Each structure stands twice: as structure tokens, then as C-alpha cells.
Amino acid sequence: MDNPRIRHFWPLALTAVLLALPTAAVIYSPTLYRMFCAYTGYGGAVKRAVAPKAAEVTSDKTITVAFDANVAPPLKWSFEPGQRSVTVKFGAPTKVYYRAKNLSDHTIVARAVFNVTPYQAASYFFKVQCFCFTNERLGPGESAEMPLIFYVDPHMLKDKDAQSVSTITLSYTFYEQKNLTPAEVAAARDLAAASREKDAALAKASTATYENDAPRQ
């Protein structure tokens, strides 16, 4: 006899698995995550663009961008945005910072995932590739200040589903990468040094390539 509970269990279980796959894929394999997005349409395709120069920004409309930072237990790092929010003009490139510190007495490797909410505005948020999708290494007591430049596409103002959004939130979560070999730890990116180099390069560059690869479903 058909049992309604059993009949409804499998669709719910499949939904739970599909929702869990993107985060798991990012944590353990950035390449797998991008393949997953390409195959399923989750998050849409990665879009790249060059931001307009400050002098080319013509819109007087503004939007607030809020910043969130989290660490997943048992990661012994502190992680916080340098600013809780900024109000910016549409199309204007804006630099902000995130800060991380290893609170332990040993080297730790971690990897960050991010999302942009609300999702109807996520496709208009562009940022330089920063500290996502890669293994990042901090030594005991070491800290890093990670630069991030972003802009919000003015085309959002013409989207009836997104034009009423007044605040966009960018959120990151770091996950510890466990059971790594000494070679894998050594191969992880030196987060402090790489962040300083990135900041210096961004300060000198006249243009930068921005990406939009936030989950949008």
C-alpha cells in the first residue's frame, strides 16, 4: 500500500542533498563547485566586467552594502569586516577590507565561501577575485588584512525585481581544512603576504577585472 510519508520523503531528501552540495563543493573543491554551477545553473554563469572609472560614474543613486564575517567551528580564527557597511553610488568602485587572525599556537589552513543577499540583487554585485575558493594559510598568531574592491551595476535600477532593494549584504564564512599533508599546508596561499601584495597591486592598477559568481538561486 502506498504510504504518504514514504512518498514525500524522497523529494524532500533530494532537495536537502541538492541544497547541501554547493557549500560542500566550495569547501572541498572550488573546481567542482564551478562545474556544479555550470551543469545545474545554480548561481548562473560567472560574469566578468571592468568597472567604470570614478569620473565615468554618472548615477547619483546610492545603495548600502553591508559586510558579514563568520568562522565555522572548530576554526580558531577571528574574522571580521573592517567596516560594517558603506553607502556607495551605483557603478562606483569601492575598496573595503576584511581582517583575519589565527588565534591558535599552530599554523592553520582555511577556505572561505561567500554569498550575496538578497538574491534578486546578487547578479548586479561585482568584485575583484579575493580570498575565496583557495586554501589560505595563517601561522600561529598571524593576522591578515584582505582588500576587496566592488561595485554595484547600475542596471539593477532598471530591474523591477531588484530596484527596490536598499541594502546588499556580502557574507563570508571560513572553514578549516583538516587532514592536510605538510606539502598541502606549504602549498596553501600565504594569506598575510598575498593580501599585502594584492593591496599594493590594486593601488597601482588603473583598471581591474571584476567577477560576479555569487549564488543566485
The total number of structural domains that make up the chain: 2
Q: What is the pLDDT along the chain (217 residues), one digit of tens a residue?
A: 555 555 555 545 444 444 444 455 445 554 444 444 433 334 434 455 555 555 456 678 999 999 999 999 999 999 999 999 999 999 888 999 999 999 999 999 999 999 999 999 999 999 876 787 799 999 999 999 999 999 999 999 999 999 999 999 999 999 999 999 999 999 999 999 999 999 998 888 766 666 665 554 4
Task: Give 101's strand partners.
Answer: 78, 143
On whether both 37 and 112 belong to a single domain, the answer is no
On whether both 110 and 126 belong to a single domain, the answer is yes
The answer as to whether 2 is a domain residue is: yes
C-alpha cell at 16: 536537502
- Region class of 83: left (phi > 0), else alpha (psi between -120 and 50), else beta: beta
- Region class of 206: left (phi > 0), else alpha (psi between -120 and 50), else beta: alpha
Vertex 31, ends 205 and 217: CA angle to 5°?
90
The answer as to whether 112 is a domain residue is: yes
Give the structural domain span for 3. 1-42
The answer as to whether 118 is a domain residue is: yes
Burial readout 27-36 (b: 16 or more C-beta within 10 A, e: otherwise)? beebeebbeb
Locus of grid cell 556544479: 36
On whether both 78 and 50 belong to a single domain, the answer is yes
Report pTM: 0.76
On whether both 116 and 52 belong to a single domain, the answer is yes
Locus of grid cell 538574491: 119
On whether both 1 and 89 belong to a single domain, the answer is no
